[in-house]
Structure 1
């Protein structure tokens, strides 16, 4: 049964026997580009999950919870609606960055079921999850800002750096815009598993169920652990700074 079902997304509880596990399906056009409205709608879906988790009884809360996101078709997400971002500036970026911070530190384990390409802002959205499953037969994950002439603001760079520990892979990702296949991404530890396209959602659900008990009791513990694990990225995302390299002006 759909908990939220609007044009841009659908939120469901795919297995009623596990009321703490939610599936958020993105459907904002063929490319799932982030707009101010789409970001707000994702925020509303996260609000719903938060509120639903608060309502779960103590027996079921002991089993914890998890959130999976996915899409259908060629793209998981093709990033930001660039023209709108350039026109709207902070009005566009600040809500997007706050949404990433919220997802990065969400109170239950999160899994990105990457069904297709995840580029730029879509790659960052996937990186904000705790775990990533990607289809093995097609699709790339990449930060292609360097190729489209857009610098990375501090929060955006930080969210990639906190998830990509190898300096060489981070360089290839951010400075060369390398398009990582599932095999490349698995070797670079961008993702946790690469599976056939028709198994992506099953694998994501399996991982969600495996780690859901880590949020047992549905207390703030997981959120607070993530808040410290990813402190630098979260601080920069929440600060809303949108001036790339602006610190140089202060030297």
Structure 2
């Protein structure tokens, strides 16, 4: 597995860490590595919950801009494949806790939104969807994840007007569930995952999947045509 994504089993909890040494961009290599980490967790009967964490100060800056600007087909392929990874996380039968370790922008915030619980940190960090300010339409999968997570009054503010939030406001509108000090983040996320792991399976997993099925089915039915309609990659 690539070092940009590492995997550690801590009892019943698997901790998946993202760290590319920079902005934690979601590249093709990231997609492959994250998929392998999820495979590993699902195949290990001892694992009952996951934590997905970023590097200190950076959860993820979203899709890799080098790929996004390299051409329309490469951009669409990256966004499509990244969206499928997010949908996989969203419907994973295991509980997933996101340790949002700093800035979470665009696709990075959407990945965080796929967690069953989302813990952020206090500090001078930005979380938001910046697509419209960058002259990009927001894909269906993105605004449907926002619709699923946000206070309805904040939906257009966040998606249409591309509002960037500090941690406290991200908590207020619904992108996050709670905040902790940076040094307490991983312990808090693991504790949260251990608590969720005590909920009975398969009841938890089946209920989670049925609860989210309308969103998942809509995204998967529309993603190809939606992305094809966008001018992406230059």
TM-score (norm 2): 0.88
Instruction: State the match for 1:59 in structure 2.
Output: none
Alignment of 1:174-189 (within 5 A): 174-189=159-174
Instruction: State the match for 2:18 in structure 1.
Output: 26
Equivalent of 1:105 in 77, 87, 91: 91
Q: Output the CA distance in 1 between the equivalents of 2:219 and 2:128.
A: 20
Q: What are the Cα deviations for residues 98-139 of structure 1, in whole angstroms up to 9, with x where unaligned? A: 111110011111111111100000000000111111111231
**Structure 2 CA distance for partners of 1:242 and 1:143, relative to 1, 3 Å:** farther
Note the C-alpha offset of 1:7: 1.9
Q: Output the CA distance in 2 between the equivalents of 1:117 and 1:194.
A: 13
Q: Output the CA distance in 1 between the equivalents of 2:132 and 2:114.
A: 20
Q: Output the CA distance in 2 between the equivalents of 1:39 and 1:233.
A: 21
Residues 80 and 227 in structure 2, CA contact (< 8 A), matched pair in contact too: no
Note the C-alpha offset of 1:244: 5.9
Q: Output the CA distance in 2 between the equivalents of 1:242 and 1:71.
A: 31
Note the C-alpha offset of 1:187: 1.7
Equivalent of 2:197 in 200, 209, 212: 212
Residues 24 and 55 in structure 2, CA contact (< 8 A), matched pair in contact too: no
Residues 33 and 77 in structure 1, CA contact (< 8 A), matched pair in contact too: yes
**Structure 2 CA distance for partners of 1:47 and 1:206, relative to 1, 3 Å:** same
- Quick check: which has more Rg, 1 or 2? 1
Instruction: State the match for 2:53 in structure 1.
Output: 70
**Structure 2 CA distance for partners of 1:245 and 1:40, relative to 1, 3 Å:** closer
Structure 2, unpaired ranges of 5+: 230-234
Q: Output the CA distance in 1 between the equivalents of 2:50 and 2:139.
A: 27
Instruction: State the match for 2:122 in structure 1.
Output: 136
Structure 1, unpaired ranges of 5+: 57-63, 247-251
The number of residue pairs the alignment matches comes to 225
Q: Output the CA distance in 1 between the equivalents of 2:82 and 2:227.
A: 16
Instruction: State the match for 2:81 in structure 1.
Output: 95
TM-score (norm 1): 0.83
Q: Output the CA distance in 2 between the equivalents of 1:242 and 1:77.
A: 26
Q: Output the CA distance in 1 between the equivalents of 2:112 and 2:91.
A: 13
Per the alignment, in what secondary structure is the counterpart of residue 97 of structure 1? Answer: helix
Q: What are the Cα deviations for residues 196-215 of structure 1, in whole angstroms up to 9, with x where unaligned? A: 1111111111211111112x
